[in-house]
Structure 1
Amino acid sequence: MAKVLCVLYDDPKDGYPTSYARDDIPTIESYPGGQTAPTPKAIDFTPGTLLGSVSGELGLRDFLESQGHTLVVTSDKDGENSVLDRELPDTDVVISQPFWPAYITAERMAKAPNLKLAITAGIGSDHVDLDAATKHGLTVAEVTYSNSISVAEHVVMMILGLVRNYLPSHQVVLDGGWDVADCVSRSYDLEGMHVGTVAAGRIGLAVLRRLAPFDVKLHYTDRHRLPESIERELNLTFHPDTASMVPHCDVVTVNAPLHPETEGLFGEDLLATMKRGTYLINTARAKIADRDAIDRALHSGRLAGYAGDVWYPQPAPADHPWRTMPHHGMTPHISGSSLSAQTRYAAGTREILESWLAGTPIRDEYLIVDGGRLAGAGAHSYSTR
C-alpha cells in the first residue's frame, strides 16, 4: 500500500465554500492540437468546486482509501518541523501545485528513501529538483495542458490591465472619486503595438492566438520554431533569441519554463535593451526575472508596468518589493488555478495515480522525468545542468 502526501493551499479565510457563483462549468474534452483532457476511470468530486485547497483534497481521499492507501493532506510545507518534512521520509508519492509548491530538493529526496513519484497538480515542475530526480530515479509528472489556456487568458487580462491602466482607474471608483485625467494619463490602446512572447509552447501560442484579433504585431522566440503555416496564419515574426526580440516590443510576455537557460534572463542588461515604457508580463516563473532589477526598472520608467502572478519564494513574504513597486499588476499565483482548471488538474492527478498504482505507463505527455532522464513533455521543455 502506498502513502500519498498532498500539499495544498489553505482554505478560504471564511471557510470552505458551501455554494459557488456558478452552477456548472463547460466540459473540455480536448485541447488545441488534439491532446485529450484527463481521462481517469472515475472522479469523486463535483466539477467547478474548490479542489486545490486543503479541504478539497483534489478529490482523492475516497479513491485512495477505498484501495487501502494512505492520504495525508497539509498546507504546512516550510520550516524545519513542517508537516511536509515530518511525513516525507516514508512517503511514496508527493503531490503539490505550482501555486503552493512543495519544494522537493535534493536534501528532501535524500531523507525520503521511499519516494518514487512527484506529481504537479497543474503545469510547471521546477519546484522539484529535476537534476536530483534523475539521479534518485524519481518519476516526475505533471498534468500537462490542464491549465495552459487558463494562464493564457490571465496573460491577456494582465496586458490589457496594464496598457489601459485599469487597476488604478478601478481604485478611483472604490475611493469615491471621478479623476478622469489621472486615470487616462497612463492609458493607451493595445492596437498597433508590437507584442512578443518568450516561448511559444502551449501557453505562449495560446496567448498569440488570443491577441491576434487586437490588430497587434506579433513576435516570438522559442528554441522550437513554429511551423511556417502558423507563422503565416498569425503573421508572426520569429527571433532567434530573447535578446534579439525585446528591443522591438512594446509588450513582452514570458511563457517559458524555468531552467538554467532562462533563470535570471530579465536582468539589468536585458532590461536596458528594451524600449522605454515597455510592459512586461511574467506568469511563468519569478526567477526568470531579477527581482530587484524589475523594481528598479519600474521606478526609473524603463518599464511602464510589470504584471504576473509568480513569486519567489511562494508564498511571498510581506516585505517582498514586488508588493509595493509602482505600476504593477501582481496577483498571488492564481492564473492556472481557476475552478475550471482545478477540475482538469484534479482529474489528471487521479489519472496519473491510477496508472502508477496499477503499474501501467503514465501518459507520455504527462512525464517530466522518468527512468533517470528527462522524458515526455520534460524532454521538450526543460534542460538540466
Structure 2
Amino acid sequence: MAMKHVATPVLRALASPGSSTLTRHLHASPGSNKIVGVFYKGNEYAALNPNFVGCAENALGIRDWLESKGHKYIVTDDKEGPNCELEKHIPDADVLITTPFHPAYVSAERIKKAKKLKLLLTAGIGSDHIDLKAAVEAGLTVAEVTGSNTVSVAEDELMRILILLRNFVPGYNQVVTGDWNVAAVAHRAYDLEGKTVGTVGAGRIGRLLLQRLKPFNCNLLYHDRVKIDPELEKETGAKFEEDLDAMLPKCDVLVVNVPLSEKTRGLFGKDKIAKMKKGVFIVNNARGAIFDAQAVVDASASGHIAGYGGDVWNQQPAPKDHPWRYMPNHAMTPHFSGTTIDGQLRYAAGVKDMLDRFFKGEEFPAQNYIVKDGELAPQYR
C-alpha cells in the first residue's frame, strides 16, 4: 500500500471511475484539539487494578497527558441512538478513538456529521465497526494498534480449543450445581494430540497460534492469501492449503483468524459448514459476522458442529435472546480476549504514540494504517 506523508493533503481517485476525494489535512489543528474516546464502563472494577486502562473511567491512561498539552478529551460509553453522548460530540471532534470491545459503530451518517474529523483510531485491532468506504470517501485516516493484542487473542484461542475438546464447561457447571456425573462429561472429551487443526488466516494471530500448537503434536494446516515464511512452516510443521474447501473436511478443529470484510462476511454459511468434518470443533475470535448465526445454531443442534467457541458476536453487545447463548456445546464469552490487562497496556501505548505523531504531523507505523490517502489496507479490500 502506498503510504505518503501523513500531513500532506492528496487528491486521489477512488476505485469507481470518475470519482475522487480530497484527503483531509491529517495534522493537529493549531492549539487545542478535541479527542473523543468511546470505551466500555469499568464501574466498580475501574479502581481495582491501576493497569485497567481500557475502561471509560481510566480512558487509556492518557487524560493528564492530553490535557497538559491543552487538548480536550471527552470520554464516554454512551454510543447508541440519536441523543447519545457520542452524537453530541461528533460534529466538532478532531479525533475519534473507538474499540472493538465496545464498538461505536461509525456509520456513513456519523462520518457526514463529523465535519472536523481527521483521524479515526481503533484502540486494539479490527476496524470493521467503521464504515471504511465512507471513511475513504471523506478523506479520513483510519488506524489501529496493529499487533497490540495478538498474543492475547492467540492464547485465548488455544484455551478455547482445549476447553471445547475436553468438554470443560459441562464439567465446571456440574461442580457449581452440586452434581457429579463423570460419564456425562467424559463421553465427549478428547485429547488435542494427534488432531488436525486448521487456521483460516495465518497473519499475526494465526502464526502465533501455530507456534503455540506445535508442542501438542497436532497436524497443522493453514489457509491464507499468501504462504507464511518457509522457516515458520518448518518450525511448526504447518502445511499450506490453497483451497479452503479442500481443507475444511480435513480439520478436527477449525480456527478463524481473518478480518471481517465484504469478502469474509457470511463466509461460513450452511454450505461451507456442510463441507466440514462431522463433529468439528470451531473457534472464532475474529468476528461473529464471518459465520451465519443460524447456520451455526442448526449445525450445533444436529451435532455436525461438536462445539463452537469464541468471544465475538454478530451483534455486540449480544442481545439476551441471541441464539448462540443457548445452543448446545458452546464456549462463548463476551468480547474480551484482546482486552487483557497486558493487551490494554499495549494498545493504550500505541494510541498515545499515534496521537503524539498526529500532533507533530509525523507518520504512523506503516502497518497501523487501515485507510490512508484514499486507499484501503489489503486485508479489508
Taking structure 2 as the reference length, what is the TM-score of the superposition?
A: 0.90
Match of 2:103 in 1: 101
Matched letter for residue 17 of structure 1: A
What is the DSSP-based 3-state SS (H/G/I as helix, E as strand, rest coil) of the residue aligned with 2:276?
Answer: coil
Q: Aligned residues, how many?
A: 350
Counterpart mapping for 1:339-358 below 5 A:
339-358=341-360
Say whether residues 1:362 and 2:364 are aligned partners.
Answer: yes
The within-5 A match list for 1:1-385 is 1-12=32-43, 14-18=44-48, 20=49, 49-374=51-376, 378-379=377-378, 381-383=379-381
C-alpha distance after superposition, 1:257-296 (max 9, x if no partner) = 0111111011000000111100011000011000111011
SS, match of residue 46 in structure 2: coil
- Inter-partner Cα distance in structure 1 for 2:318 and 2:81: 15
Change beyond 3 A, Cα 1:121–1:311: same
Structure 1 spans left out of the alignment, 5+ residues: 21-45
Distance, in Å, in 1 between the alignment partners of 2:104 and 2:220 is 36
**Is the Cα contact below 8 Å between 1:222 and 1:241 reproduced in 2?**
no
Shift in Å, 1:242: 2.2
CA distance in structure 2 between the aligned counterparts of 1:308 and 1:193, rounded to whole angstroms: 19
Distance across 1 between alignment mates of 2:243 and 2:135: 29
The residue aligned with 1:30 is none
Q: Give the C-alpha shift of residue 241 in structure 1.
A: 3.4
Please provide the CA RMSD for this pair: 1.1
Other-structure match for 1:27: none
TM-aligned CA deviation for residue 15 of structure 1:
4.5
Distance 1:60 1:145 in 2: 20
Matched residue of 2:330: which SS?
coil
Matches of 1:108 and 1:241 in 2, distance apart? 39
Whole-Å Cα distance in 2 between the matches of residues 286 and 301 of structure 1?
Answer: 20
Contact in 2 for aligned 1:196/1:252 (Cα 8 Å): yes
Tell me, in whole angstroms, the C-alpha distance in 1 between the residues paired with 2:155 and 2:268: 23
TM-score for both structures, normalised by structure 1 = 0.89
- Residue by residue, what CA displacement relative to the aligned partner does 1:168-211 show, whole Å, maximum 9, x if unpaired? 10111111222111111111111111000000000001011101
SS at match of 2:272: helix
Q: Distance in 1 between matches of 2:166 and 2:155?
A: 16
Identity of aligned residues (%): 49
Q: CA deviation at 1:98?
A: 0.5
**Equivalents in 2 of 1:227, 1:64: separation in Å?**
41
